[in-house]
Amino acid sequence: MAKTVLVIEDEPNIIEAISFILSREGWHVRTHSDGATALEAILREVPHLVMLDVMLPNRSGFDILRDLRAHPETSALPVLMLTAKGQSKDRELAESYGVSHFMTKPFSNAEILDRVRELGG
């Protein structure tokens, strides 16, 4: 049975690219694009891995990550955070909330695959 990754991202071209890369590798890819309902989407069917954008409509990825870590079902869920702003303060904030890995856009296909394999098994 394929492992599931939930991609929480609001840019269609990034969703399409990541979905294509991971599907080709045998992952079942679910997508979600609204920060306000992201936690519900995760809890509805907890995936093996979450790819979480920092800047989302209605709620930041940082807030979602903090909620994930506080929830018993998702406290240890691997989270790969994506951001267009690679500032060290963003990385430090994500690490303080318990991110598994922090990646700056743009990224290569190989980079995404390496991190997903590392985090999602």
* All domains of the chain in start order, with CATH: 4-120 (3.40.50.2300)
pLDDT digit of tens for each residue in the chain (121 aa)? 789 999 999 999 999 999 999 999 999 999 999 999 999 999 999 999 999 999 999 999 999 999 999 999 999 999 999 998 778 899 999 999 999 999 998 899 999 999 999 998 7
- Write the CA distances from 87 to 6, 11, 67, 80, 84, integer angstroms: 25, 20, 22, 16, 9
First-last CA distance in the chain: 13
Contact indicator for 111, 41 with CB cutoff of 8 Å: no
